[in-house]
Structure 1
Amino acid sequence: MRRLNALVVDDEPLARERMTRLLEEAGCEVVGNLGNGLALLEWLQGPAEADVIFLDIQMPGPNCMEVLADARNPPPVVFVTAFSEYAVRAFELSAVDYLLKPVFEERLFKCLQRVRERLVRRLSPSELRSLLPTLPRFPILAGEGEIFMELSHVTHFELSQDRVWAFRGLNRYLTRWTTLSDVEDAFPEEGMLRIQRHILLRPEMVRGFRPLATGRIKVLVAPRVELTVSRAMTPTTRKRIDPATK
């Protein structure tokens, strides 16, 4: 049986360790164990080679699908995800395989057989980009009409005089919403934090933070833009933005 060289890419250390162990037990050589899209980009630019990449789709940093789409002759990919909608998208493409978390030995064995039999092929850049999720967006007022803004550009939302403003650093944009609950209801999976009664933070946009003498913290979301977190929400916010916080 041909020994496969496998690359594991997942931002969760425990998930990487488990996948590495399962692959090694299945007779594979794990040639890399990476935690984000930037590490994948650097690896693809190096001399190492892999027969297959086991890739978690949702990770911080550069989007891995775009990284692979821009790479020259990337290896075949097996998508590993806890989100079934990505699995469905992957399955719709011919000669693509996926694993749903948690991964089990029997399902992994079948997947490796497909890789060895070359039934899992390299995807073209257009095929890789077709698997990218549709980015959530929302309308903002522009003159007498509206334009759409991608949620990924927003640092936070603020409620002022019964109107919700979307902020992109120092710049603000008027939305249709009249309460922060409207925003949370529109994006229930985004995990935004109500750090003040009138401020809704996208925690992934935090660049840094500093403690205050009052027991609160200020979070930096853009150059010259700091937001004060309420005392009640400081512990929760620190845990979300600082993995070392206990």
Structure 2
Amino acid sequence: MSEPLRIVVAEDEPYNLKRLVRLLKGQGCEVVAELEDGIAVMEWLEGGGSADALFLDVQMPGLTGLEVMAEIQEGLPVVLVTAFAEHAVKAFEHAALDYLLKPVTEERLALTLERLRSARSSAVRPVQSGPFRYPVKAGEGLVLLDLGKTSHFEFKGGAVWAHAGGEWRTLWKTLAEAEQALEGRGLIRGHRHLLLRPEAVLGARNLDSGRMLVKLQGGLEVEISRGAAPGLKSRLGIP
């Protein structure tokens, strides 16, 4: 039998918090933290907390669920929980794994948990080495770029752009597609719209907000979110 999913729940309404925790435990999950707002989520993560997924209420005091998502590292799957159906579109725009409408039902929750289990089972892949090229658009055709000469990928304007001695439009529509195609190549998220090759980092400095500013090959500087900064520091050997 597989290990139970370890879940963090953030919800500012006590009744909804207790109900969701009860439903999760009823489906075999381990709830490792019950948090009351977005600020508590960030403090928990910065304190070294870890889990298989974060169930995040959209409307909370301090920091909203969407604001928290903009800060945390992509490696933590997020399920947005909301009373408003219109937030479903925003959930997927912000790369949430799923969304749940209140009141959450056992049947709908079971589907979400199955998605989480599938994602967890395929998450661990060995890092691959050696040269790798990927296609980008050039006029009426395509050219192949060397990943080793690429500093980062950026999502903007409905497409993923590669930075490799210039800006090139890739064939990927989302960073999730890019991550899947480049899986095992050692890239990490800098924030929700930035995929970074750590070997391209030439320098870094801390910002007061807990974020980082890193200088990449080619001279460009990009900002790293508070949630992603610890993972990048670890990869770079920065204390």
TM-score relative to the length of structure 1 = 0.46
Indicate the structure whose relative CO is greater, using CA pairs within 8 Å and at least 6 residues apart: 2
TM-score relative to the length of structure 2 = 0.48
Choose 1 or 2 for highest CA Rg.
1
